[in-house]
A = this chain, B = another copy of it.
Amino acid sequence: MSTVLISDPTLRDGNHAVRHQLNARQIALYAAAADAAGVPIVEVGHGNGLGASSLQVGESLIGDREMLEVARENLVNSKLSIHVIPGFATINKDLKTAIEIGVDLVRVASHCTEADITQRHIGYARDKGKEVYGVLMMSHMASKELLAEESLKMESYGAEAVVIMDSAGAYLPSDVTERIAELVKSLTIPVGFHGHNNLGMAVANSVAAVQAGATILDGTARGFGAGSGNTQLEVLVAVLERMGFSTGIDLYKMLDAADIAEKELMPVIPSIKSLSVVSGLSGVFSGFAKHVERISKEYKVNAKDVFFELGRRKVVAGQEDLIIEVAMKLAAEGAVKS
């Protein structure tokens, strides 16, 4: 029976869904529940990862140190993981501190065409004896050949696995199959997939990934995460189990953990709103959704139109300031028309 290694970013990607306001009690509760269910890896932090709390992308309620310390205290068997985007996370301050607190796994991420920026962070964490993955975000914006090139860079820097993210929820299963197959063929290290549900395909895409040779999958309780949410972990575990894959997770306890997440962490369960569909079709990062809604309301423009325009401009995470520019432009055009 094939084994799939599950990594659970409920306490990191879920922070996007609450504008980074998860508190210590919530982190403790869910970390303990995931640990009890046998989830192998639990990722914790600000939605945009280590060191990302800021006025522009949103300030987290509590700092990285407190988030990681409380998670660390509540994880017995699960590994503690962090999402690290160079630029947000500095080596000498953020990464050093996280390693001192005792993270087990460091996932260093970049936009899918920018693997170069991960070299120093990957090297540093490996030098400190940590397990390190490379992560390529917004992977739908690169061809399978380019993704393989960028992944090979990460492998050469010392990454022990590469995970591609469907940050915009833009993939259909055939898109995933061709990209994962290419990576599996090109790399000697394990390959993973992180899905979002904008087109209702997160679980199906994850299954396509393992069928194409991926051995690592990300998923969150009730899909708690940016925009329309992530691959719903308890559903994924059930489906993988039925297909004959082993995850080591106790499904019954995972359902309990998801119930806890719903009750204690989530103001609302993620769902595929009309805006999520437009976001997925346009290929815009799901983390933009809440900002787009707020800014569109402020400038009295249609949020769907803002998303389509952001898609045309091929924006990436970190370019949140462009939302205001687009909304202002649409508002001005509307004012001219009327």
* Distance (whole angstroms) from the CB of A41 to the closest CB of chain B: 21
**Are B239 and A199 within 8 A (Cβ)?**
yes
The answer, yes or no, to whether A304 is at the interface (CB within 8 Å) is yes
Main secondary structure of the interface of A (DSSP, over half): helix
Give residues in A with beta carbon < 8 Å to B: 172-173, 199-204, 207, 222-223, 232, 234-236, 238-239, 242-243, 252, 255-256, 258-259, 262, 269-274, 277-278, 280-281, 304
Chain B residues with CB under 8 Å of A278's CB are 255
A200 to B304 Cα, complex, angstroms? 25
Chain B residues with CB under 8 Å of A239's CB are 172, 199-201
Query: How many monomers of this protein are in the complex?
Result: 2
In the A-B complex, the 3 residue pairs with the closest CB atoms: A204-B204, A200-B203, A255-B274
Chain B residues with CB under 8 Å of A202's CB are 200
* Distance (whole angstroms) from the CB of A140 to the closest CB of chain B: 12
Between A and B, 9 residue pairs with Cβ closer than 8 Å are: A172-B239, A200-B202, A201-B204, A201-B239, A222-B272, A235-B277, A255-B278, A258-B274, A269-B271
Chain B residues with CB under 8 Å of A270's CB are 271
A280 to B204 Cα, complex, angstroms? 15
19 further A-B pairs in the complex, CB-CB below 8 A; given A172-B243, A200-B202, A255-B277: A172-B207, A172-B239, A172-B242, A173-B204, A199-B203, A199-B239, A200-B232, A200-B235, A201-B204, A203-B204, A232-B272, A234-B274, A235-B272, A235-B277, A256-B274, A262-B273, A269-B269, A270-B271, A271-B271
A120 to B294 Cα, complex, angstroms? 56
**Are B271 and A222 within 8 A (Cβ)?**
yes
With most chain B CB atoms within 10 A of its CB, the pick from A202, A235, A281 is: A235
CB-based nearest B residue for A255: B274
* Distance (whole angstroms) from the CB of A259 to the closest CB of chain B: 5
* Distance (whole angstroms) from the CB of A151 to the closest CB of chain B: 26
**Are A242 and B272 within 8 A (Cβ)?**
no
* Distance (whole angstroms) from the CB of A4 to the closest CB of chain B: 15
**Are B173 and A280 within 8 A (Cβ)?**
no
A273 to B273 Cα, complex, angstroms? 18
Chain B residues with CB under 8 Å of A243's CB are 172
A191 to B201 Cα, complex, angstroms? 23
Chain B residues with CB under 8 Å of A234's CB are 274, 277
Q: Which of B232, B235, B238, B274 contacts A259 (CB 8 A)?
A: B274
Chain B residues with CB under 8 Å of A271's CB are 222, 269-271
Chain B residues with CB under 8 Å of A277's CB are 234-235, 238, 255
With most chain B CB atoms within 10 A of its CB, the pick from A204, A255, A304 is: A204
A204 to B204 Cα, complex, angstroms? 6
A234 to B242 Cα, complex, angstroms? 28
Chain B residues with CB under 8 Å of A200's CB are 202-204, 232, 235-236, 239
Chain B residues with CB under 8 Å of A172's CB are 207, 239, 242-243
* Distance (whole angstroms) from the CB of A218 to the closest CB of chain B: 15
* Distance (whole angstroms) from the CB of A54 to the closest CB of chain B: 31
